[in-house]
């Protein structure tokens, strides 16, 4: 029964064996803490990469919004020119439609980028939350390892 708890194990009568067992348990806990630290570091790296991606998406969204606004402004200029001179309708009419279509297209693309930004932000929060949870678990594991080591020292010295 490898999975049995400590309370169910028979007491160890040999003090040297007890010290060695405690040191082994302390070492195992330290290794577990190191594994948790690796996971924490990985999650923080993932979060950093996601943050970079979110910033790229933000930049793309701002560029698309700016371009869309330029097309919209040009469309409004053409509409004003048509309102002043009806003879320009034949030449500027198709341009107004083309500019409106482009403005709508860019606004739609910017909206899609902003939606991806929000999703990425959620993924960042999740990764950092998991990293924090694992960091607390690692800290508790290190405390347990220190307790085992201290108990080993009290039970039989530095062996």
Residue 149 has pLDDT above 90, yes or no: yes
CA nearest to 103, candidates 78, 66, 68, 67: 68
For residue 152, CA distances in Å to 2, 11, 19, 156 come to: 22, 15, 5, 6
Read off the pTM: 0.75
Residue 4 has pLDDT above 60, yes or no: no
Report all structural domains of the chain as residue ranges with CATH numbers, in order of start: 14-154 (1.10.287)
Residue 1 has pLDDT above 50, yes or no: no
Tokens of 28: 């195992």
Confidence of residue 11 (pLDDT cuts 50, 70, 90): low
Across 71-86, average pLDDT: 91
Number of Cα atoms under 13 Å in the Cβ half of residue 21 = 12
Residue 6 has pLDDT above 80, yes or no: no
Across 58-67, average pLDDT: 97
Q: What integer pLDDT is reported at residue 90 of this predicted model?
A: 86
Across 100-104, average pLDDT: 96
């Amino acid at each position: 029964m490898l999975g049995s708890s400590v309370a169910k194990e028979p007491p160890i009568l040999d003090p040297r064996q007890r010290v060695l067992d405690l040191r082994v348990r302390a070492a195992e806990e330290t290794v577990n803490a190191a594994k948790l630290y690796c996971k924490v570091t990985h999650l923080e790296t993932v979060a950093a990469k996601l943050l970079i991606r979110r910033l790229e998406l933000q930049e793309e969204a701002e560029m698309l919004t700016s371009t869309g606004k330029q097309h919209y402004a040009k469309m409004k200029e053409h509409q004003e020119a048509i309102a002043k001179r009806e003879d320009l309708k034949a030449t500027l009419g198709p341009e107004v439609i083309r500019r409106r279509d482009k403005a709508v297209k860019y606004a739609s693309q910017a909206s899609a980028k902003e939606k991806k930004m929000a999703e990425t932000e959620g993924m960042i929060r999740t990764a950092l939350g998991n990293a924090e949870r694992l960091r607390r678990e690692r800290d508790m594991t290190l405390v347990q390892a220190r307790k085992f080591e201290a108990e080993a020292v009290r039970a039989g010295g530095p062996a």
